[in-house]
Structure 1
Amino acid sequence: MRRPHPCLLAPAAVLLLATACGTEHADPAGGADSTGGAGAAVPAPRAIVTDPPVDGVRVTSVTLPTASPSPAASLGSVHADRLHGDSGISAAYQVGNDGDEAMTYTVFFAFTTDTGEVMGNKKVTVSGVAAGGSRNGTVDLGVLAPGASPVTRVKVQRVTKVPAAEAPSETGACPASGLRLWADDGDAAMGLRVVGLHLENCGKRDCALDGYPRLSLLDENREPVDGIRIRHGGAAIASGTGFDDPPAPLTLKPGESARSGLVWRNTTLAGTAVNVPYVRVVAKPGARPVTVTPELDLGTTGQLGVGAWKRADG
């Protein structure tokens, strides 16, 4: 069972139709084409948005197409050309970095109804936004599920950001280190959490591993989190997670991969629950650190298990 992402509970900027109440204003580009013939295609209606940013990310407009007209449509009818099955719903956004180093942002968008019911989610990664700079983009909903209610709003649910030099990379150009490291979405069952760490040798030299990834736990400001015991082996938290084996030396040739895992429980008893959004991972001594975002909801357990590196097919 896939673990529900905690970002779904975070507050966010909201996008409304131009006809709704709020700070949105009709975009002139979204009106009917008064010079075209019957059924002339024009840009879909947009709503300009002036809501404040969420962690440096703001949505600037939302596009919600009208239905396509029939061949006998009257002069001035509006429709949006799009691929078969595609909803044509999208939102334009801007990512602004007011920090002093380049950052990579991961932004979670929700496409909702007037009442806030989520009809679709999208995740966008914006890499290497320079210090003091900004980046613009567009996120498309794509296909809307059959029977879904009309989407009238789009919101930024959550933003995570890590230094660009420490950003995980599952695809794309091979990092200068020759090692590609990332975390998966994880699984959850009965309060047990397991998130996989994946390491690929995308370089040209062999990579020797022997032991466990080195972990640093960081809060929302990427400052160290104290008081959490990091225990070796998944069995220190629960058996049967697949990360119980003791460490053994292995060599990854170019193109080969290894995996480890983070294991914890979210039990909350007496005390204050601890949440750790960021984990800085060093695959082996001397390797470049990579910061992943597994969203550790550690409850009051005070401990996290980490598995030894093993071959990805082992």
Structure 2
Amino acid sequence: MSRRPAPLRPRLAATAPLLVALAVIGPLLAACGSESVGAGSAGAGAAGSPTPTPVTDPGMDGVRITSFTGPGDSAISAAYEVTNDGTEALTYSVIFTFTSSDGGSMGNKNVSVRDLAPGKTARGTIQADQLPSSAPLVTGAKVSQVLKVPAAEAPAEPGTCPASGIRVNTDEGEAAMGLRVVGLHLDNCGTGTYTVEGYPSLELLDKNHKPVTGIRILKGSSEITTGAGPDEQPRPITLKPGESASANLVWRNTTQSGTPVNVPYVRIHAKPGAAPVMVTPGLDLGTTGKLGVRPWKKTETR
């Protein structure tokens, strides 16, 4: 599963930056809430009563667009629903794409639906951003990507602290010349000290949350690149409340002979016995067969 949505049209990218996904989760919705983040697209007509058009597209992984409003209305928007047909509560991270008549991407919206119980459906609305007058009309919307993790293992919402007192998440990462680096971040948001030593424990999982085999998880990154700095020896790190640590995942997406491997999910244990957290860094490992992990290092405060 690719983490990267369809690219925006080049002539729009400079004038209308739009939200894209990572690691970690976008604007939050309650189970039946909605998200509205901008005025209607250029090309919309005079203000008037919205006229939603039903959409019968089956969608993706339980997520679908149910109706589309526009163009010609006061705002361009789409209604959606997310249905959990599994057996456990799930947290969803979804990328919706507004499209033109030729199917081109006119902008992406990230939506998160947390703690959706089995058999339940969450509904909401997304609204298109305002586009320049030269832009093609937005004529539809589609589901571009669906990521879902067990609610019990989902990264904590920004500004909240889980019962463990430890918050784990990832950043958007960096990419250059086929080299990828994604940071893992560990925050002590609790009231006591927390000590880690060595490397975070990783489980690589496929789109069905099943183990991905055939990948060597290396301690350090020197076998992959020297660009991430020399490998450092792990040492005990004690975090006081409010302090943080980080570790990096390093890989190349080189593709040669064989079948490329993509890993949408990674289950992380900060240390042995720690509660698992499932993140979605989207590891495009190509055919390299290896992933480097650097040890936890205390984050310097500024």
Map of 1:272 onto structure 2: 259
| TM-fit CA distance, 1:258 | 1.3
1:91 aligned to 2:78?
Answer: yes
Tell me, in whole angstroms, the C-alpha distance in 1 between the residues paired with 2:3 and 2:146. Answer: 12
1:246 aligned to 2:242?
Answer: no
CA contact (8 A) 1:170 1:182 kept: no
Tell me, in whole angstroms, the C-alpha distance in 2 between the residues paired with 1:91 and 1:171. Answer: 26
Map of 2:69 onto structure 1: 63
Aligned equivalent of 2:59, options 53, 66, 70: 53
Map of 1:33 onto structure 2: none
Task: Report 1:102-113 matches (<5 A).
Answer: 102-113=89-100
Aligned equivalent of 2:190, options 170, 182, 203: 203
Aligned equivalent of 1:8, options 6, 9, 13: 6
Letter in 1 for 2:143: V
Residues 189-236 of structure 1: per-residue CA shift (max 9 Å, x gap): 111111111111111111111111100011111101111100011323
Residues 87-126 of structure 1: per-residue CA shift (max 9 Å, x gap): x322111100011100001101111111122121111111
Aligned equivalent of 2:291, options 301, 304, 308: 304
Tell me, in whole angstroms, the C-alpha distance in 2 between the residues paired with 1:245 and 1:223. Answer: 31
**Normalising by the residue count of structure 1, what TM-score does the alignment of the two structures yield?**
0.78
1:237 aligned to 2:224?
Answer: yes
Residues 109-155 of structure 1: per-residue CA shift (max 9 Å, x gap): 11111112212111111101101111111122333356432211111
Tell me, in whole angstroms, the C-alpha distance in 2 between the residues paired with 1:277 and 1:44. Answer: 38
Higher RCO structure, 1 or 2 (CA under 8 Å, sep 6+):
2
- Secondary structure at the counterpart of residue 275 of structure 1: strand
Letter in 1 for 2:199: Y
Q: Runs of 5+ in structure 1 lacking a partner? A: 10-38, 67-78, 81-87
CA contact (8 A) 1:45 1:65 kept: no
Letter in 2 for 1:59: I
CA contact (8 A) 2:3 2:264 kept: no
Tell me, in whole angstroms, the C-alpha distance in 2 between the residues paired with 1:280 and 1:51. Answer: 32
| TM-fit CA distance, 1:254 | 1.3
Map of 2:31 onto structure 1: none
- Secondary structure at the counterpart of residue 222 of structure 2: helix
Aligned equivalent of 2:136, options 149, 169, 189: 149
Tell me, in whole angstroms, the C-alpha distance in 2 between the residues paired with 1:276 and 1:100. Answer: 23
Tell me, in whole angstroms, the C-alpha distance in 2 between the residues paired with 1:174 and 1:301. Answer: 37
Q: Runs of 5+ in structure 2 lacking a partner? A: 8-44
CA contact (8 A) 2:71 2:138 kept: no
Tell me, in whole angstroms, the C-alpha distance in 1 between the residues paired with 2:221 and 2:146. Answer: 29
Letter in 1 for 2:273: G
Map of 2:205 onto structure 1: 218
| TM-fit CA distance, 1:246 | 2.4
- Secondary structure at the counterpart of residue 281 of structure 1: strand
**Normalising by the residue count of structure 2, what TM-score does the alignment of the two structures yield?**
0.81
Point out the more displaced range, 139-148 or 95-104.
Answer: 139-148
- Secondary structure at the counterpart of residue 273 of structure 2: coil
Describe the shift of the 1:172–1:299 C-alpha distance in structure 2 as closer, same or farther (beyond 3 A).
same
Tell me, in whole angstroms, the C-alpha distance in 2 between the residues paired with 1:89 and 1:252. Answer: 47
- Secondary structure at the counterpart of residue 66 of structure 2: strand
**C-alpha RMSD of matched pairs (Å):** 2.2
1:43 aligned to 2:21?
Answer: no
Aligned equivalent of 2:123, options 125, 136, 152: 136
